[in-house]
Structure 1
Amino acid sequence: MRRRVLVVLMIYSTVVVLALSVPLAVLVGRERAQRFGENRAAAATYFAELSSREDESGAARIRQSAQRYDNLYDEGIVVVDRAGRVRAESGLDVERSDVQQAVAGALRNQRGNLPSSVMPWSRSSVLIAAPVGGGTQVDGAVVIEASTDSARTDVAIAWMIIAGGALLILVTVVGIAVALSRWVVRPLTALSSRVQSFGDKFHDRLPIDAVAPSQMHTAYLGPPEVRELSSAFEAMAGDVESATAAQRRLVADTAHALRNPLAALRIRLDVLGMRVPDAAAESHLRTTQEVDRLSAVVEDLLVLAAAETPSNQDATACDVGATIADRVEFWSSTIAVAGMVAHVEGPDGAERLLVALPEDDLIRILDALLSNATKYSGSGSSVEIGHRASATAITIWVADTGPGVPADELPKVVNRFFRASSAQGGGTGLGLSIVHALTERAGGRLQVSAGRPSGLRVELHVPRIVS
């Protein structure tokens, strides 16, 4: 796989380098051609102006200037009048067909075509023509055979620099790609080995081709290492799901098996309590409380196991406002006995807000949250139960003004059997775990935060059903 990753990176890097260097090389050729054309056009214009200023008596001066230009730049030049007669000539045969064509074009007031770009393989010379005179009056023509050797050399040197820079970039990219491919592939290989070794503890290793039909869409995509990792991960995920399901069944079966013996033990303790002497009354009471605590743990474990089991039934619509009002009324006496005050908050209007949560689950959630509030908030505090709706979700919250939970313990309150250090009195530590499981099973999410100025705020965000 490392080789394939390296090849992909190199192909991509080569394309990027070429996409940058080729336009740069073309731009260099065009820029050099522009400077070359401007320089030679200026020379041709100079001789055209000189020829227009000098009459026949100044022909010697024009020939001297043409000779000096030829000697200095080694570029032939010819100057003719409007009848095509040569006024000055140096290093250029006026009888050449291409020169004749350039002269004819200049006499028609046409300037020669300058090269748009210079390449290392361009022609060694080009003819540059300029008319003598201006406007509609053409008194002659100037033709220069300009050498492109210097321009082609400059372009070749610039191209070699660009090629060297591109090669240096590619070499650098190769080093980076080698390190990057090793960095990417090594953890993947190690993960594949680790996943495979984990799966071998549960079942024999299967070849890559022996994949379940449901996994065929991933078995034939990607490199062999990725396919092997995918196959091993699918097998491991199946093992983990099976182990999780077995754990849930074990908890549920154990709790169910303990329920009846604990109920029978509680009845016998009640019967025994009528004959317990006063000296053993306190021990009997503590034993009864311990049995009650164990019974509550068993009941909560059964509820939690049911809540963590995925539901195959379609979501049931539940009227949030009506359910909250019913539970507040049910808990009103308990709240009053606890010395607390309850407030209900909700949207104005008579619109029924339906949530994708069975009514029994919402009742269980509200009962757990109100039970915690009455147990741990303390006398003189208040509890607020409310809900609000958005386009796609309904938010339900229960907030109290009690002592709350320390900030470092807030992320742990939904863990099984966890009880905050500020909690006083009895409890199983499973209430918020049940609320969390029921909320997630409905496709929602649970958020626990500190209340303001004190207390605890629990919010549920559950999908809304629009009627």
Structure 2
Amino acid sequence: MRRRVLVVLMIYSTVVVLSLSVPLGFLLGRERAQRFGENRAAAATYFAELSSREDESGDARIRESVQRYNSVYGEGIVVVDRTGEIRAASGLDTTRPDVQQAVAGALRNQRGRLLSSVTPWSPSSVLVAAPVGGGTQVDGAVVIAASTDAARRDVAVGWTVVAAGAVLILATVAVIAAALSRWVVRPLTALSMRVTSFGSAFHDGPPLDDAPPVETDVHVGPPEVRALSRAFDAMAENVENATAAQRRLVADTAHALRNPLAALRIRLDVLGMRVPESAIEAHLRTTLEVDRLDSVVEDLLVLAAAETPTLRRNIECDVRFVLADRVQFWSSATTVAGLTVHVADSDPAADYRAEIPEEDLVRMLDAILSNATKYAGPGADVDIECRADADHVTVSIADTGPGVIAGELPMIVDRFFRASSAHGVGTGLGLAIVHALIERVGGRLEVDARRPSGLIVRLLLPRHDETGSLS
């Protein structure tokens, strides 16, 4: 963020500096062109007046002045009479077309057009013409090939000074912008790190107790941003404490219920040997309810463990091997349920290793296959596929059962939610456990409807990286 703020400040400063320095550079060129034109126009006027005062007997004086001007300034000059005959010339080729055109224009009482601005790449010389005489009477013409070297050199030096000043200003602005952006962005950066640390505690990052502390300077940055950072820290601490307390409550409650439930189950088994025949059905229903409650408690313990952040370890397992083992394990149950299981062939050359503990993957596959066995219904097909790409190892389990209506799909991973099409015994925690386990390792769970009927569950498991990090 600091870099973006610095870039914005520098772009704005560059636009401001350029909007000032570029017009200044052109202003220098126009001012130097004006002085250049005034000087050369004055010289041409001098020779025009000198030519108008001297008759043909004074041509020697004119030639002497012309030669002296050429030797001193190094600029060619020519003076002609009204018929175009040369009265004096020095250092200028009068046969050049542009010189003849300038002479013709001056004889028509037209002065040459001077430069409006001088730049380092302007022509090396320009023709300055002036008519001899005044009013409507033109007695000759003067043409000077004025050199622009000195003017172009002065403009180049001026532009260099302006450019150096602009660079110096931008360097100063860069130093100020760097300090200013650091002052403004430091609390925001600390807040962003805190948000990242806070979010990772609920997904695949290290637990907050083991996470590196985020160092913040409460005296650095704008007061409003510092106040926001303090408010967020207080809110984050409250949420973390509440979440930790919730997890502890679920785990402690489940643990506290396990022993009484186990004792109650034992008593029911002992009591079952003495229950009269008229109470056998009630005893059986009570036993089933206790078993269901025990299953809920067990699932709550698993869910609490799955939602507890853990340090990431470089743990891998072969997804294809584990999947084949669980399909074989559930084969008898799926046969009894009347399901037909199809396992798609996988690429033997592909790498199916994923960054997930094997026991977590087993628990996830068991939950999904258990749901298919319970709810797909007799005669349904179950299609299982495992494929690997650059980022994930994807396990897809699809059935042709009744599926879940579209409005209930977003809630399918919520705790204790059971679809309206689900019948029979269940806790509603199976996919919630799968969702928590896969998010803990940085993967993703996708549940979609299958057409024309059924459900597709996809596990996108992060690929194992040989360097020890997630790919």
TM over 0.5: yes
Cα distance change of structure 1 residues 435 and 143 upon mapping to structure 2, 3 Å threshold: same
2:92 is the counterpart of 1:109: yes
Aligned to 1:444: 443
Contact 1:78 1:86 in 2 (8 A): no
Corresponding residue of 1:334: 333
Alignment of 1:3-402 (within 5 A): 16=15, 19-20=18-19, 23=22, 79=48, 104-106=75-77, 107-109=90-92, 114-115=114-115, 117=117, 129-130=128-129, 141-142=142-143, 214-217=213-216, 219=218, 221-312=220-311, 314-349=313-348, 353-402=352-401
CA distance in 2, matches of 1:85, 1:216: 93
Give the conservation status (yes or no) of the 8 Å contact 1:342–1:385. yes
Secondary structure, counterpart of 2:433 in structure 1: helix
Q: Alpha-carbon deviation of 1:17?
A: 5.3
Deviations 1:286-332 (A, max 9, x none): 22222122111100000001111122362322121111111111100
Letter in 2 for 1:238: E
The amino acid that maps onto 1:302 is L
- CA–CA distance in structure 2, aligned partners of residues 27 and 229 of structure 1: 49
Gaps of 5+ in 2: 1-6, 57-63, 78-89, 94-98, 100-111, 120-125, 132-139, 147-187, 192-210, 467-471
Inter-partner Cα distance in structure 2 for 1:396 and 1:213: 35
**Structure 1 residue matching 2:463: 3-state secondary structure:** strand
Q: Measure, in 2, the Cα distance between the counterparts of 1:102 and 1:85.
A: 23
- The amino acid across from 2:92 in the alignment is N
* C-alpha deviation, 1:252, in angstroms: 0.6
- What's the secondary structure of 1:215's corresponding residue? coil
Identical-pair percentage: 53
Q: Distance in 2 between matches of 1:253 and 1:413?
A: 26
Distance 1:466 1:226 in 2: 39
Q: Aligned to 1:446, what secondary structure does the other structure show?
A: strand
Mapped to 1, the partners of 2:367 and 2:437 lie a distance apart of: 11
Unpaired runs of 5+ in structure 1?
1-7, 45-74, 88-93, 120-126, 133-138, 146-187, 192-211
Aligned length in residues: 348
User: Which letter does structure 2 place at the counterpart of 1:243?
Assistant: A
Q: Using structure 2 for the length normalisation, give the TM-score.
A: 0.61
| TM-superposed deviation, 1:236 | 2.6
Q: Quick check: 1:78–1:144 contact (8 Å CA) kept in 2?
A: no
Q: Go from structure 1 to structure 2 and tell me whether the alpha carbon gap of 1:86 and 1:365 turns closer, same or farther (over 3 Å shift).
A: farther
Checking the alignment, whether the CA contact within 8 Å between 1:315 and 1:358 is kept in structure 2 is no
CA-atom RMSD in angstroms: 4.8
Change in CA separation of 1:213 and 1:416 when aligned onto 2, cut-off 3 Å: closer
How far apart, in 2, do the equivalents of 1:335 and 1:237 lie?
46
Measure the CA separation in 2 of the matches of 1:243 and 1:273.
43
Per-residue CA distance 1:96-153 (angstroms, 9 max, x = gap): 999997895334238899546289xxxxxxx962599xxxxxx9733699xxxxxxxx
CA deviation after TM superposition for structure 1 residue 462, in Å: 1.6
Q: Distance in 1 between matches of 2:232 and 2:338?
A: 55
Are the counterparts in 1 of residues 76 and 145 from structure 2 also a CA contact under 8 Å? no
**Which letter maps to 1:425?**
G
Between the aligned partners of 1:31 and 1:342, the Cα distance in structure 2 is 88
Q: Distance in 2 between matches of 1:218 and 1:454?
A: 58
TM-score (norm 1): 0.61
Matched, 1:464 2:447: no
Residues 13 and 312 from structure 1, CA distance in 2 versus in 1: closer, same or farther, beyond 3 angstroms? closer
Contact 2:76 2:144 (C-alpha < 8 Å) held by counterparts: no
How far off its partner does 1:253 sit?
Answer: 0.8
Q: Structure 1 residues 278, 21: CA separation in 2 closer, same or farther (over 3 Å shift)?
A: farther
